Amino acid sequence: MPLPFPFLDLFGTFVFALSGATAGVRRRLDLFGVLVLAFAAASAGGIARDLLIGAVPPAVFRDWRYLAAALLAGLITFYRYPLIERLKHPVQLFDGAGLGLFAVAGTGKALAYGLDPVMAALIGMLTGIGGGMTRDLLLAQVPSVLRSELYAVAALAGALVVVGGDQLHLPEAVMAAAGAALCFGLRVMAIYRGWRLPIAPAAGQPEAPAKGERPQ
Amino acid sequence: MPLPFPFLDLFGTFVFALSGATAGVRRRLDLFGVLVLAFAAASAGGIARDLLIGAVPPAVFRDWRYLAAALLAGLITFYRYPLIERLKHPVQLFDGAGLGLFAVAGTGKALAYGLDPVMAALIGMLTGIGGGMTRDLLLAQVPSVLRSELYAVAALAGALVVVGGDQLHLPEAVMAAAGAALCFGLRVMAIYRGWRLPIAPAAGQPEAPAKGERPQ
Amino acid sequence: MPLPFPFLDLFGTFVFALSGATAGVRRRLDLFGVLVLAFAAASAGGIARDLLIGAVPPAVFRDWRYLAAALLAGLITFYRYPLIERLKHPVQLFDGAGLGLFAVAGTGKALAYGLDPVMAALIGMLTGIGGGMTRDLLLAQVPSVLRSELYAVAALAGALVVVGGDQLHLPEAVMAAAGAALCFGLRVMAIYRGWRLPIAPAAGQPEAPAKGERPQ
């Protein structure tokens, strides 16, 4: 198991699935579409990680609890959407928590499979952002990770804490918690304080939609 | 070979490729784009299955007949599109037939690779829906599987018949045929009788298109 | 290493990353989004190739120079976009050069992993077009490879030169150079002379945008 505390993995799966299911309900998918989106948002990052490091079948196909957590989140969101919606910025906060947990878990597993520290951090970041990217791509949208405030950076920061701790032989569980907390904190600051990365100065004016592009 | 009758696999490849090529011609792709879409719709589900269960290179890259079947379907659709179009609901029916064949074939192969029954059914469903999802994603559309009437459910039902037969030690070929027929039948009822899954009640009103979303 | 001249691989990575980063700046992604797009455009084709032939972890995760080349291209494009833009048809030409290099490199690696000649050419073509397809899909656009003039055909032509040379036991480096040059030449003719493949005659009139489709 990638994390010292396996239940954290399940919690990450659950909150990512909430994020996917929420996006699915908003786009008026049917029940199965919502469940597919919940599962995809929850597991695509981990599946990508496992395919890339050669851990097949991916963990999500070897332990029924991941599937159960994702489906439970999807069902709750589908039948109790007003409850989920009432929480402030629900998608973004669920996303931020899942992001931190998945980034540190993915980094740890990549290190365990012998990848170099920098590449393990990259895989960890992908573990974190892969679910959200897949959620957005399945809805035919540009992944919010490519535009959002400090999204991938937050995942990478959390991953680098784990890699740094591994290099310095610090306690794995403590560094995983610190990495996840840093990632989540960066996301919260990005959402509430508007922290964000620059946009290329030369592209300052919105361009006219190119041929074949959707209007903005 | 995943199916007791290998030619069924080729037939599924052919009809899925028709579905992909039809969508490509409608979107006015050029000849090669249509062939790519035919191949992607025909093989993406099987490729995903083989990557996930660790059967690399995927079957489609080890047997030229899959490629030939997909390209033949693509060429026929490209040069005889009016013929293909004249069949009623051609894309949907081709899709339904391919869906059943691929779902049972994928489930059988996943069982043969040692996956648990529930996970094998999930992989089987993915084998069935992966091609259509890839077809839609390549055309920058929300996959119809996420909205459509009983699409993924039909694939899953067919896959569960195979899994159930395997658990009860019933004859593999009979259960594969029954699973594919059930899946196809559910699709036909969904298309002609409008059988469908519910949409979340709380999302009853169509929302205004969000920023960055295409207008509906 | 897939190519006799490893630095060519890095050059291909660099120019593909320029293409991805340029598309990202145009769509006003933030700095990290531009870097992700640069990396995705540069490495998605090679990652797909390595997953399909079973070479995990993919090469790009085993050699930091690929990552460095992609990030360098992304940073240059982000901070010096007017310079990149001033070159005529920059995206298309970078794309054409990367296409040829990646198609021959991918074909060579697939042959080295024991794939049949036709399948190796297919994998080589995918290595070439996978990055651009991923770039377009991440921007929620129909991949230009499916519409463009002689795009995938050019990659396939380059790949077939490598396969043919391998069958005839001709010098690998010479045939790789010839294949890449043929691919690039076809792209140049397609861009400047308008060489293109036919569109299905029956679909001669643009159809009204279907429900859920973006307006053209």
Task: Establish if B213 belongs to a structural domain.
Answer: no
Q: Determine the structural domain holding residue B101 and report its residue range.
A: 6-196
Task: Establish if B157 belongs to a structural domain.
Answer: yes
Residues in chain C with CB shorter than 8 Å from the CB of A143 are 138
Q: What is the pLDDT of residues C147-177, one digit of tens each?
A: 866 888 999 999 999 999 999 999 988 999 9
Which of B3-12, C149-158, C161-170, C205-214: highest mean pLDDT? Answer: C161-170
Which residue of B25, B31, B32, B62 to mutate against C (max C Cβ within 10 Å)?
B32
Return the percentage of chain B with pLDDT > 70, whole number.
86
Distance from CA of A103 to the nearest CA of C (A): 16
The residue with greater pLDDT, A85 or C67, is C67
**Coil vs helix vs strand at A199:** strand
Interface of C with B (CB under 8 A): 51-54, 113, 115-116, 118-119, 122-123, 133, 137, 140-143, 145-153, 196-200, 202-203, 206-207, 210-215
Q: What is the pLDDT of residues C66-76, one digit of tens each?
A: 999 999 999 99
* Segment B71-90 mean pLDDT: 83
- Pick from B30, B77, B215: which is nearest to C198 by CB? B30
Mean pLDDT of chain A: 85
Task: Establish if B137 belongs to a structural domain.
Answer: yes
* Segment C90-103 mean pLDDT: 80
- Pick from A142, A196, A210: which is nearest to C140 by CB? A142
Return the percentage of chain A with pLDDT > 90, whole number.
58
C-beta of residue A26 within 8 angstroms of C-beta of residue A141: no
Distance from CA of A7 to the nearest CA of B (A): 20
* Segment C105-118 mean pLDDT: 94
The residue in chain C having the minimum alpha-carbon distance to the alpha carbon of residue A150 is: C32
* Segment C114-139 mean pLDDT: 94
The residue in chain A having the minimum alpha-carbon distance to the alpha carbon of residue B199 is: A30
Q: Do B54 and A57 touch (CB under 8 A)?
A: yes
The residue in chain A having the minimum alpha-carbon distance to the alpha carbon of residue B55 is: A56
The residue in chain B having the minimum alpha-carbon distance to the alpha carbon of residue A138 is: B142
Name the pLDDT band for A92 (thresholds 50, 70, 90). confident
- Pick from B52, B150, B212: which is nearest to A61 by CB? B52
Q: How far apart are the first and last CA of chain A?
A: 43
Name the pLDDT band for C204 (thresholds 50, 70, 90). very low
Whole-number pLDDT of residue A151: 84
CB pairs A-B closer than 8 Å: 97
**Does A126 have pLDDT greater than 60?**
yes
- Pick from B52, B143, B148: which is nearest to A58 by CB? B52
CB pairs B-C closer than 8 Å: 101
Interface of A with B (CB under 8 A): 24-34, 36-37, 47, 51, 56-58, 61-62, 64, 67, 77-79, 81-82, 85, 137-142, 214-216
Task: Establish if C202 belongs to a structural domain.
Answer: no
Residues in chain C with CB shorter than 8 Å from the CB of B51 are 51-52
**Does C117 have pLDDT greater than 90?**
yes
Of A161-170, A178-187, B197-206, least confident by mean pLDDT is: B197-206
Name the pLDDT band for C93 (thresholds 50, 70, 90). confident
State the DSSP string of chain C: --SSSHHHHHHHHHHHHHHHHHHHHHTT-BHHHHHHHHHHHHHHHHHHHHHHHT--S-GGGT-HHHHHHHHHHHHHHHHSHHHHHHSSSHHHHHHHHHHHHHHHHHHHHHHHTT--HHHHHHHHHHHHHHHHHHHHHHTTS--GGGTSTTHHHHHHHHHHHHHHHHHTT--HHHHHHHHHHHHHHHHHHHHHH-----B-GGG-SPPPPPTTPPP-
Task: Establish if B54 belongs to a structural domain.
Answer: yes
Q: Report how many domains make up chain C.
A: 1
Chains that touch C (3 or more CB pairs under 8 A): A, B
Return the percentage of chain A with pLDDT > 70, whole number.
86
C-beta of residue A80 within 8 angstroms of C-beta of residue A87: no
**Does A186 have pLDDT greater than 70?**
yes
Residues in chain B with CB shorter than 8 Å from the CB of A41 are none
* Segment C129-144 mean pLDDT: 92
Q: Which residue has the tokens 């012998």?
A: A114
Task: Establish if C158 belongs to a structural domain.
Answer: yes
The residue with greater pLDDT, C87 or A43, is A43
Whole-number pLDDT of residue A86: 78
Give the burial class of C11: count Cβ atoms within 10 A of its Cβ; 0-12 exposed, 13-18 middle, 19 or more buried: middle
Task: Establish if B203 belongs to a structural domain.
Answer: no
Whole-number pLDDT of residue B30: 87
Name the pLDDT band for A133 (thresholds 50, 70, 90). very high
Name the pLDDT band for C91 (thresholds 50, 70, 90). low
Mean pLDDT of chain C: 85
Q: What is the pLDDT of residues C2-52, one digit of tens each?
A: 444 567 778 889 989 998 999 999 998 888 899 999 999 999 999 999 999
**Coil vs helix vs strand at A170:** coil
pTM (2 d.p.): 0.87
- Pick from C78, C82, C142: which is nearest to A212 by CB? C142
Q: What is the pLDDT of residues B166-215, one digit of tens each?
A: 999 999 999 999 999 999 999 888 888 877 777 766 554 444 333 333 33
Task: Establish if B146 belongs to a structural domain.
Answer: yes
Q: Do A141 and C142 touch (CB under 8 A)?
A: no
